[in-house]
């Protein structure tokens, strides 16, 4: 998918992905690609927080709204916490185009669990 992580911390995870190679048959950014990368970045943000508690994160819910699409360039994916608990995390994930326009908004909730040995 060509995803590159630019920044990663408990407060924020930022990544980019090219539209090229992630289009559907009409030449638009594939909605499934947006969901996949959004869930991956949001989950990574949850894992970073979970690691500070000696835990890991598993997704339990994700929802998304597509506002507009893109045909070229790259998208930026930014996950920020809404709630960072000891059992659950919820992150908002914004996907924007090169002009900074919002393409998609995701919300992802992860369950924090002790890693299996």
User: Which residue of the set 11, 39, 72, 92 is catalytic?
Assistant: 39
Contact 1, 75 (CB under 8 A): no
Helices and strands, counts by H and E, the chain: 1, 6
Q: Does the annotation count 92 as an active-site position?
A: no
CA angle 104, 36, 15 (to 5 degrees): 70
Q: Which of 63, 62, 66, 7 is nearest to 31 (CA)?
A: 66
Residues annotated as part of the active site: 39
């Amino acid at each position: 998918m060509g995803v590159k992580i630019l920044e990663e911390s408990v407060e924020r995870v930022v990544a980019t992905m090219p539209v090229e190679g992630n289009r559907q048959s009409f030449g638009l950014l594939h909605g499934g690609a947006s969901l996949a990368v959004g869930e991956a970045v949001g989950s990574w943000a949850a894992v970073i927080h979970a690691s500070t508690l000696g835990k890991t994160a598993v997704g339990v819910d994700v929802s998304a709204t597509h506002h507009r699409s893109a045909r070229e360039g790259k998208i930026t994916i930014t996950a920020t916490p809404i709630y960072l608990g000891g059992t659950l995390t919820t992150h908002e994930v914004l996907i924007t185009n090169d002009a900074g326009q919002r393409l998609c908004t995701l919300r992802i909730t992860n369950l924090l669990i002790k890693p299996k040995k």
